[in-house]
Amino acid sequence: MTSASVLPTSSAAEAVVPNPVCFVVALDPPDLAEHLFGRDLESLKVPGATRLNSRPISAFDDDESRAALARADVLITGWGAPALSDDHLNAAPNLKFVLHAGGQAGGLLPPSARDRGIHVSNAGWVNAIPVAEFTLAMIILANKQAFQAQRLYRDRQGYIDREVEFPAAGNVGKTIGVVGASRIGRIVIERLGDLDVDVLVYDPYLSSADAAKLGGRQVGLVELMASSDVVTLHPPLNSSTVHLIGATELSAMRDGATLINTSRGLVVDQGALVTELRTGRIQAILDVTHPEVLPADDELYALPNVFLTPHIAGSMGAEIRRMGEQVGSELERITRGEPLAFPEALR
Gap between the Cα atoms of 257 and 63, Å rounded: 57
Residues 27, 77: contact at Cβ < 8 Å? yes
The DSSP letter of residue 83 is P
For residue 131, the one-letter residue type is V
| Number of helices (H), then strands (E), in the chain | 14, 13
Active site residue 292: yes
Active site residue 264: yes
- Set 35, 264, 330, 333: catalytic member: 264
- Set 114, 217, 311, 321: catalytic member: 311
Residues 126, 184: contact at Cβ < 8 Å? no
The DSSP letter of residue 59 is -
Residues 20, 50: contact at Cβ < 8 Å? yes
- Set 14, 64, 292, 299: catalytic member: 292
How deeply is 2 buried, as exposed, middle or buried, from its count of CB atoms within 10 A (0-12, 13-18, 19+)? exposed
Active-site amino acid positions: 264, 292, 311
